[in-house]
Amino acid sequence: MEIINPNAAGIDIGSKSHYVAVGQALEDVQEFGVYAEDLQAICQHLKEYGITSVAMESTGDYWQNLFTELIRHGFEVVLCNGKFTKNAKGRKTDVKDARWIQKLHSLGLLTSSFLPDETTEILRTYCRQRSNLVNQASGASRKMQKYLKFLNFRLDVVVKDICGQTGLAIIEDICKGNHNPESLAEHRHYNCRKSKQEIAKALHGNNREDFLFGLKQEFQAYQFYQKQIQQCDKEIDKFVQKYLKDHPEMKKFKTTEKPHKRQNKNAATIKDFNQVAFQYFNGVDLLAIEGVSHATVLSIMSEIGPHGFEKFKTSKEFVSWLRLAPNNKISGGKVLSSKVPKGSNRLKIALRQAANAIGNLKDTHLSDFFKKIAFKKGRQAAVSATARKLGVIIWTMITKKVPYQPPKEYLFLDQKRKLGIVKRIKKQMVKFDIHREELDLLTT
């Protein structure tokens, strides 16, 4: 085969050492450590051999420091998925892996994985840390509910969410030593569906000291995670505002208000997020898509960013990278398999959650598509198909700078009510033979 990259090297990444191959001979492979001085030594070693392009596997998190160092020294780095380099024959060793990666790269058989720009990478760090804290807070919430059941405080029966306003107030009072059911029921919020008497009935507990201790510990952990989440929200808001301040040309974009878009309690509290997202994507209104929430848009901002879409030539490449498109395997003109590839990432999960929300809507373009697929193949297939359709729509909107224009207009609940009132008035006007001109005369 023809050599595509003559000045190519291959690096086998390890946790304690890296093996660098600049050729196929045994003496062309050298082992280096993982300390800062070792990484600089690798760069110097590659320069001595006239290497310009380097390929390595994305093994865990061990590749990141070396990747940054190679980029800083001006090398072209191809970070490839490990599944594309696992076809070497014979006994597997680190030396053979490095030589195999070098050989594949010199023949031009390796493709680079997607990597976001530095701004998106920083925002991704904040958002992923926040997501981890939300998961830990939900774990503390489940353990609080477990200890409440052990104590026979059936708070989960009388309130919708034990971490809501009523539930947290009652749990805090229990941790302070108040075990009187009537007194605890006084914390009932006026929006709670159950009465004070029914809440008091559910709060006759056994007051075991060990369970009370566990409940108190989990409640303190939940409060701690909530404070950490608030700090993450401040850092995310600060970073995004700084980015927009550094790009004053984005400030000119203004979008319409969307008071009907409900914000989940676990969503990041970014001030005026509707305008911020519109400006961040250079005048593209992603929140105009039905089913797309604030959390979905924040996932797009942090996982791929506005400039990341440019790395995909077509929408098909984008949804294929998300692993939302079928992987057709054809032999002899016959389709052997058309399953969606296994694997997931945070953006794919966000789009699937948005697709699931679309399935609960009524009388919209995307919900009609969802129900059509669900009728034929079931809800699970409909979620994947709608998530893929969302990916195509978002890629088209951002790369081509076009607004969302569905064939069927999406109406919010208040708009539907208003439209229904207008229809009834028109029917009454037809029934009593009243014309528009007569109404104008009455109003004047």
Spatial CA neighbour of 240 closest among 391, 122, 139, 69: 122
A 10 A CB-CB count for 30 gives: 15
Mean pLDDT is lowest, of 225-229, 242-246, 424-428, for: 424-428
**Whether this model's pTM surpasses 0.75:** yes
CB atoms within 10 A of CB 281: 22
- Contact (CB, 8 A) for 293 and 261: yes
Q: Is the pLDDT of residue 266 over 90?
A: no
pLDDT tens per residue, range 271-292: 889 999 999 999 999 999 988 9
pLDDT in tens, 339-358: 888 878 899 999 999 999 99
pLDDT at 410 over 70: no
Instruction: Name the burial class of residue 378, with classes exposed (0-12), middle (13-18) and buried (19+) by CB atoms within 10 angstroms of its CB.
Output: exposed
Which structure tokens are listed for 375? Answer: 């009728």
pLDDT band at residue 48, thresholds of 50, 70 and 90?
Answer: very high
Q: Please, what is the average pLDDT of the chain?
A: 90
Burial class (CB in 10 A: 0-12, 13-18, 19+), 391: buried
pLDDT tens digit sequence for 59-69? 888 999 999 99
Confidence of residue 333 (pLDDT cuts 50, 70, 90): confident
* Tokens 């129900």 sit on residue: 371
- What pLDDT is attached to residue 342? 81
Per-residue model confidence as pLDDT tens digits over 107-157: 999 988 888 889 999 999 999 999 999 999 999 999 999 999 999 999 999
Six token digits for residue 112: 């680079």
Q: Which domains does the chain have, with CATH numbers?
A: 8-106 (3.30.420.140), 119-239 (1.10.287), 250-400 (no CATH), 413-443 (no CATH)
Query: Taking residues 371-390, what's their average pLDDT?
Result: 93
